Amino acid sequence: MRQRRKFSRDLKLSILNELNVKKAVQVCREQNIHPMMLSRWRKEFNDNPIKSFSGNGNLWKAEAEVERYKRLVGELYAEIDFLKKTTKRLQELNAEEKKVKSLR
């Protein structure tokens, strides 16, 4: 069974840069890659140059983790706000109760 080759982001970008000088067929022969793979890389790069070739979804996982933490921080802020309001209300009730007891 043939093992799948892995190409780094830098290698993919250098191969795409070779297309400025050479023809796609020549680049594919020299790099021993299938023309379909080269066209897929070119499309991915043209669609989003910054996020292209993130590699095995690692970038997505990092972004998802950041979003999860943002949600958690938002929930904690809401909980803190609720607790502050509840504490204030309990202190007011406690103060009123003390007033009532002192009047008796």
Residue pLDDT tens, the chain, 104 long: 778 888 888 899 999 999 999 999 999 999 999 999 999 999 999 998 888 887 665 556 777 888 899 999 999 999 999 999 999 999 999 999 998 888 87
Question: What is the CB-side half-sphere exposure of residue 95 using CA atoms within 13 A?
Answer: 6
- Where do the domains of the chain lie? 7-53, 57-104
| CA 69 vs CA 72, 75, 86: distances in Å | 5, 10, 25
For residues 52 and 40, is the Cβ–Cβ distance under 8 A? no
Number of Cβ within 10 Å of residue 95's Cβ equals: 10
For residues 35 and 25, is the Cβ–Cβ distance under 8 A? yes
Global pTM value: 0.50
